C-alpha cells in the first residue's frame, strides 16, 4: 500500500521521465475515483504544456506546468506505471497519459487503482500550498530538522494514543499504518501510550526512527503487500525488513516474545508488549 516512501520512489521515477517533457494526451476511462476527475480542467492545465517539475508533498505527487498543477494520490491500491502502449493492460486502468519525455521519446503512463481510493485532481495557478489538500498538513518528516521537538510541543495536552497522533497528517505527514507501527517499535514506545505523556527525549528518539525507517524503505523501493507495485510494475522490497507489522504471533526480533496485534481507531497495530513501554 502506498505510503510516503512508495510515493517518493514513484515521484523520483516520474520526474526522470516527465520533467522537461510534455503530456501529449490524457485519456480517462472513468469519471471518478475517490472524487470526480476534473478531466476538462486537467487537460486545459497540463496537456500540451511543458512539465516544469515533478515533486511530492505528503502522499501526493504533483506535476507543475506553466498553468497549474496535476495532483495524484495513490490511495490504498493505486499505481502509476510506464507502459509501452495506450491500451489498458489491467482491469482497473482508469487513466492513460501519452507522454513525450525530455529526450523526445514517446511513452505511456497508466494510472491503475482497483479500490479507487486514489485521486486525480488539478489546481490552477502558481501555488498549491493553500489548497484544501495541503493547507493543514504538518511538516515533511524527511526534511524536518526539529521533528522530535515539533512532536513534543504539538502533543502537549493530547490524550490520543501516540500511534494515532503520529498518523495524523496535520501533525506530521506521510506516517501511515505500517511505518507508524515500525517506528514506534524501533523507538520502544507503546502504541497505546497517550501522546501528551511522552517526554521530549523519547519523541526525539521516535523522530529519528521515523526518519530512518522511511529512508530505509525508500532505499529498498518501498514496502510491498498484495497490491503495491512501483513505477516499473515491480513489488517493493522493504517487507523483508519489517520488524512487527503483519507479524502477529511471530517472535519479536529483539526479545523473541510473540508480536501482538490490536485494533486502534479501526486500524491494526502491531507491537511487542515487552520491548515497548
- Which residues of this chain interact with DNA, rule CB under 7 A? 1, 3, 34, 58-59, 73, 75-77, 91-92, 114-117, 132-133, 157-161, 164-165, 167, 169, 176-178, 195-196, 226, 261, 263, 265-268
Which one-letter DSSP state was computed for residue 259?
Answer: P
- Tell me the three cell numbers of residue 125: 495557478
21 or 118, CB closer to DNA?
118
CB-based contacts of 168-171 (< 8 A; 24+ apart in sequence):
168/138, 169/58, 169/136, 169/137, 169/138, 170/136, 170/137, 170/138, 171/138
- Tell me the three cell numbers of residue 190: 507503546
Closest CB 210 distance from DNA, rounded Å: 14
Closest CB 20 distance from DNA, rounded Å: 27
50 or 267, CB closer to DNA?
267
Q: Helix (H, G, I), strand (E, B), or coil: what is residue 79?
A: strand
271: β partners = 260
160 or 239, CB closer to DNA?
160
- The reply to whether 267 belongs to the active site is yes
- The reply to whether 2 belongs to the active site is yes
110: which residues sit within 8 A by CB, 6+ positions away?
A: 80, 81, 82, 83, 88, 89, 90, 93, 95, 96, 97
Quick one: how far is CA 99 from the chain centroid? Answer: 24
C-alpha 182/C-alpha 193 separation (Å) is 15
Closest CB 63 distance from DNA, rounded Å: 17
Residue listed under C-alpha cell 526534511: 143
- The reply to whether 140 belongs to the active site is no
Contact 242, 258 (CB under 8 A): no
59 or 110, CB closer to DNA?
59
Closest CB 5 distance from DNA, rounded Å: 11
Closest CB 91 distance from DNA, rounded Å: 5
Q: Phi and psi (nearest 5°) for 176?
A: -90, -170
Closest CB 243 distance from DNA, rounded Å: 15
Q: Phi and psi (nearest 5°) for 185?
A: -65, -45
Helix and strand numbers, DSSP H then E, in the chain: 6, 10
62 or 99, CB closer to DNA?
62
- The reply to whether 59 belongs to the active site is yes
Out of 56, 59, 186, 202, pick the active-site residue.
Answer: 59
3 or 49, CB closer to DNA?
3
Out of 3, 49, 182, 209, pick the active-site residue.
Answer: 3
Q: Which residues are catalytic?
A: 2-3, 59, 267
Amino acid at each position: 500500500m502506498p505510503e510516503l516512501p512508495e510515493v517518493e520512489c514513484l515521484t523520483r521515477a516520474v520526474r526522470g521521465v516527465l520533467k522537461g517533457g510534455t503530456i501529449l494526451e490524457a485519456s480517462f476511462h472513468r469519471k471518478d475515483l475517490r472524487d470526480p476527475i476534473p478531466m476538462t480542467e486537467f487537460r486545459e492545465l497540463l496537456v500540451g504544456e511543458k512539465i516544469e517539475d515533478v515533486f511530492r508533498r505528503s502522499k501526493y505527487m504533483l506535476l507543475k506546468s506553466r498553468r497549474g498543477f496535476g495532483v495524484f494520490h495513490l490511495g490504498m491500491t493505486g499505481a502509476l506505471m510506464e507502459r509501452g502502449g495506450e491500451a489498458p493492460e489491467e482491469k482497473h486502468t482508469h487513466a492513460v497519459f501519452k507522454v513525450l519525455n525530455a529526450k523526445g521519446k514517446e511513452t505511456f503512463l497508466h494510472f491503475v487503482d482497483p479500490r479507487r481510493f486514489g485521486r486525480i485532481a488539478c489546481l490552477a495557478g502558481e501555488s498549491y500550498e493553500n489548497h484544501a489538500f495541503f493547507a493543514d498538513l504538518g511538516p515533511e518528516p524527511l526534511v524536518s530538522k526539529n521533528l522530535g521537538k515539533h512532536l513534543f510541543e504539538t502533543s502537549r495536552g493530547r490524550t490520543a494514543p501516540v500511534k494515532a497522533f503520529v498518523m495524523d497528517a496535520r501533525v506530521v505527514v506521510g506516517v501511515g499504518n505500517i511505518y507508524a507501527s515500525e517506528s514506534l517499535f524501533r523507538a520502544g514506545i507503546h502504541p497505546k501510550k497517550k501522546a501528551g505523556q511522552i517526554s521530549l527525549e523519547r519523541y526525539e528518539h521516535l523522530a529519528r526512527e521515523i526518519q530512518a525507517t522511511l529512508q530505509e524503505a525508500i532505499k529498498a523501493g518501498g514496502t510491498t503487500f498484495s497490491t503495491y507495485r512501483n513505477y516499473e510494475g515491480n513489488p517493493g522490497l522493504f517487507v523483508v525488513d519489517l520488524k512487527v507489522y503483519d507479524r502477529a504471533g511471530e517472535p519479536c526480533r529483539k526479545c523473541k516474545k510473540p508480536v501482538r496485534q490490536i485494533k486502534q481507531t479501526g486500524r491494526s497495530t502491531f507491537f511487542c508488549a515487552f520491548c515497548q513501554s
